[in-house]
Structure 1
């Protein structure tokens, strides 16, 4: 049965003129309700708007679990993906203030890097370079294991870091990746004997009373978790099969929190430390370090990057912000220091970005008193969003139809492709045969393979919504290896 957000919010007629209402909270409620009803694709949205000492708005709408009709509340916990970088950037400044690390010191001064035999690639790189995405080096293998499969040991990751890290062609310029924060984690573990998860709890969550924030997925009560959702444009919104576990909660994107704790975090910045940490420490943590355009997002005009925060402009005001996007989740944190206002928006679908952008732009203009922009946001919602979503649904249906018409082009019976395949860099991929389907598993990832026209290939969505191709190598009538992500996996079983 098709569900809408309506059971949990007041029905709203599009013909209502929002600006005719005088109560700011009521206006924002109505706009959010309209956004969810028009989109019909966002299971839930959680919103906080704060000043340094005041909560201006704190509301949650929709479902934490669409299939079970479980309402989302202000206590519902969301995965915030890359917004984690702002927390670890702040952590680095706290540790530097305490004398545990020095932000402008070369990483070769610290373990594990100073113990590497292959040191040359890590020369002239500081901790600040890691925080600001300008180390000039990268590694293609870490995200697959740290963020998705969870199949690794620390020894394997350290080996990959030392042996497979390579210089970028452009050199030491801004290039947004997760890599610098991975390195920060292993530096902290080696030097301090604690990883970022426990340090954040000790240095930030406990002092700020953020009792629902954690870097351990296992610590989130099942009845509090806002479940990730997929299938948005397929007309079958459902809980995503890809769920976070402790092994894939990493330093570049590994926090879970609720909107109440998000409000506390933003107030910490607007109150420049709240007496917990010095004002200069807090301000330094979001001081721009490098120019960095951010053209992907239209809400803010991205100008630069600080220590885990993007720096930009909104209606000619300096704004500090970061977004987080992962299969089944979207998160937004931002604040305007000079206007003493900040906002967080969470959604339990990666397609929540459109809704979050609409809501955040409208809300900022509403609370800043920009009446013309408020009216413009209403027109965009009613006249453009529905049309854009309809076009997206049409395109998705055409794509699904095209894939459904594909036929298999395997040289051997499907059962002969079953086995365990291994790459030293990526780990294991296992293929099984169930109910006449090929099932592909890589650690925390699991999917049903579908046909692809090229000979001895198949399509997989190990990460929901992101299709890739697996190809097979045959020798003497038997499968000997597979090729995926530009890597060969040898069949070992």
Structure 2
């Protein structure tokens, strides 16, 4: 769409210059432009403490670097080795690992689940039809909320429990077989079944099939391992109040790192990952993964017609969104979770890729996309790019302010709600059990009730419905907990996310 502006008299001469030389000039001048923009971006958006960036072409990394701080409390600076949680961008890695097994003939991506996992609890009418490709491309039409919830949110699980919970697989509400419907559950179910069949969990699978061969030594599925590296680990933050960005109350633990969103990585390793995508498994001049394997995951397995910000999405492959940015094919996957946001993308036709990771996602997480777009537009020669993107930063800052105002207004409004519980708080205190979801505890603290399930915990607020409370077990995701009174007039159960938890 754009081209770098040059005097007309030089046109003929430039045609005689090898493209590699022109590319070399861009590679040399881009880092300074990116650093200047990234620093302006952090100052202008204010809410985001830190950011790491990797920009890559077929020759390898053009730029890797970091800005700001990994944690507002420690003040540790961000650099290219700082560990960031990449959330759902993990799906691309998991899917490639599974595809690697298939390429060696260990599994068949197109075989129904019942053929290779006959002892699972997945109902026969589902297991006889859906395949690993269906699960990894979000076209299976099924869901398993208990497995997905325990894996990503509560962290209350064991391999044996997850295997038993395969019997909770059911048709997805509002979904249909063959239609795209994004969900963590497909990845979680696929890796639970594969672990039982092969005796290897998803962490070892991605390590052996992908991270090891590509030399991604700074990427891990273990929070504790990242902390032991000696490098800074970016903490998720919420920038809800101007000038007072704070740690999110919900942080990832080893127990909630899961196959649909459970990797921590760095700008350096994301550069290797993108180089492998652009070069079909080649990194640093060596064929690290079999030719054809990486490219096979980019092909759409299901269609969609959606947009996300400035991106058009037309399909989904194995762990990758397929779409366009401006006039260019963009293969991409993003991720977010409670104060963390990741953008990972590449343009196969231009041989260019970008990864941006930020540690705030309440009011300004789309900064990751904005920085990535800056890189793509810079190499495309967008005229007046800095003026254009400074205006975009102003727009982002305005959206940030509107979000903060909306969140503050919501908090003020909710504070006026009357109490709708009919009994004293002490009457609701106890443990409430769901065999599928686990145990939700209700405890008193400083004159209020605290509800917790696994690693999640929240102070309850009043809600408008009778016998109900509002909680944010995941920050900014308001949910309702409704108590059911028994024949004796005391709480006998509660309902959360449509599931009934019986008082113990």
What's the TM-score, normalizing by structure 1?
0.90
Task: Verify the 8 A CA contact 2:144 2:168 in the aligned structure 1.
Answer: no
Task: Verify the 8 A CA contact 2:147 2:189 in the aligned structure 1.
Answer: no
1:105-120 paired onto structure 2 within 5 Å: 105-111=111-117, 113-116=118-121, 118-120=123-125
Q: CA deviation at 1:164?
A: 4.3
2:25 maps to: none
**Is 2:471 aligned against 1:460?**
yes
Q: CA separation of 1:235/1:142 partners in 2, compared to 1, >3 Å: closer, same or farther?
A: farther
Task: Verify the 8 A CA contact 2:82 2:233 in the aligned structure 1.
Answer: yes
Q: CA deviation at 1:84?
A: 0.8
1:153 maps to: 158
Write the distance in 2 (CA, Å) between the matches of 1:101 and 1:56: 37
**Is 2:144 aligned against 1:136?**
no
2:292 maps to: 280
1:294-313 paired onto structure 2 within 5 Å: 294-295=306-307, 297-313=308-324
Q: Unpaired runs of 5+ in structure 1?
A: 1-21
State the Cα RMSD in Å.
Answer: 2.0
Q: Unpaired runs of 5+ in structure 2?
A: 1-27
| Equivalent in 468, 478, 496 of residue 484 of structure 1 | 496
| Equivalent in 45, 65, 74 of residue 71 of structure 2 | 65
Q: CA separation of 1:437/1:64 partners in 2, compared to 1, >3 Å: closer, same or farther?
A: same
Instruction: Give a deviation string over 1:308-363, Cα, whole Å, max 9, x none.
Output: 00111122111110001111111111111121110100011223432112111111
2:129 maps to: 124
1:353 maps to: 365
Q: 3-state SS of the aligned residue for 1:410?
A: coil
Write the distance in 1 (CA, Å) between the matches of 2:113 and 2:263: 25
2:193 maps to: 187
**Is 2:457 aligned against 1:419?**
no
Write the distance in 2 (CA, Å) between the matches of 1:242 and 1:150: 12
Q: 3-state SS of the aligned residue for 1:318?
A: strand
**Greater CA deviation, 280-289 or 399-408?**
399-408
**Is 2:89 aligned against 1:83?**
yes
User: How many pairs are equivalent?
Assistant: 468
Task: Verify the 8 A CA contact 1:266 1:335 in the aligned structure 2.
Answer: yes
**Is 2:40 aligned against 1:34?**
yes
Task: Verify the 8 A CA contact 1:366 1:374 in the aligned structure 2.
Answer: no
| Equivalent in 226, 229, 233 of residue 225 of structure 1 | 233
1:201 maps to: 207
1:328 maps to: 339
Write the distance in 1 (CA, Å) between the matches of 2:220 and 2:459: 32
Write the distance in 1 (CA, Å) between the matches of 2:107 and 2:122: 22
Write the distance in 2 (CA, Å) between the matches of 1:30 and 1:448: 42
**Greater CA deviation, 360-369 or 451-460?**
451-460
Task: Verify the 8 A CA contact 1:121 1:167 in the aligned structure 2.
Answer: no
Write the distance in 1 (CA, Å) between the matches of 2:386 and 2:380: 10
Write the distance in 2 (CA, Å) between the matches of 1:33 and 1:148: 33
1:471 maps to: 482
Task: Verify the 8 A CA contact 2:163 2:196 in the aligned structure 1.
Answer: no
Task: Verify the 8 A CA contact 1:233 1:392 in the aligned structure 2.
Answer: no
Q: Which runs of 4+ in 1 moved over 6 A?
A: none
| Equivalent in 152, 160, 177 of residue 171 of structure 1 | 177
1:14 maps to: none
Task: Verify the 8 A CA contact 1:333 1:345 in the aligned structure 2.
Answer: yes
Q: CA separation of 1:483/1:163 partners in 2, compared to 1, >3 Å: closer, same or farther?
A: closer
Write the distance in 1 (CA, Å) between the matches of 2:216 and 2:73: 29
Q: 3-state SS of the aligned residue for 1:72?
A: coil
Q: 3-state SS of the aligned residue for 1:344?
A: strand
Q: CA deviation at 1:52?
A: 2.2
Instruction: Give a deviation string over 1:263-310, Cα, whole Å, max 9, x none.
Output: 111111122211012221121111122212332x12321111110001
Write the distance in 2 (CA, Å) between the matches of 1:125 and 1:82: 22
1:17 maps to: none
Q: 3-state SS of the aligned residue for 1:409?
A: coil
2:258 maps to: 250
1:375-414 paired onto structure 2 within 5 Å: 375-382=387-394, 384-414=395-425
Q: 3-state SS of the aligned residue for 2:410?
A: helix
Write the distance in 2 (CA, Å) between the matches of 1:319 and 1:374: 22
Q: 3-state SS of the aligned residue for 2:70?
A: strand
Instruction: Give a deviation string over 1:41-68, Cα, whole Å, max 9, x none.
Output: 1111111001122321112111111123
